[in-house]
Amino acid sequence: MAEQRGAGEREAAAEEILWREEARRFETPDGGAYLQDRLLAQPRSASPSCGGGGGATAAAVMDLVHTYVPGSKRGRGLAARLCDAAFAHARRRGMLVLPTCSYISETYLPRNPAWNELVLTDKEPKPSSM
């Protein structure tokens, strides 16, 4: 129950995290802490019912490559808030997430398994850079 409360508190605090599209990163207002991403294309076959005519379409994949929090701001849950904002952003835009950053794959996702539904799996072909 405490984990759920913590996640809810972080969700409320996530509004303090800014999305800087031109820099491809989520950051604190001062820019000191950030989560860097890069946009990838994921090939998928389009079904005729989607109007795709059977060709391949590309679904966006957000590769979360690096999370940085300066030493003076560590231990406050800031890295998790950056991740909360990034995963919420991906969900709103119908994107998948590739958790390249070791903090996200080894620490954040095990503590926040609800986001696993957005994670690109090994069963899907590897994405290419856009």
What positions carry a catalytic annotation?
101
Which residue is associated with the tokens 């952003």?
89
Burial class (CB in 10 A: 0-12, 13-18, 19+), 100: middle
Write down the H helix ranges in 50-95: 78-92
The type of residue at 39 is L
CB-based contact 86:103 (threshold 8 Å): no
At 32 the three-state DSSP class reads coil
CB-based contact 64:19 (threshold 8 Å): no
Tell me the two tokens of residue 27: 């950051």
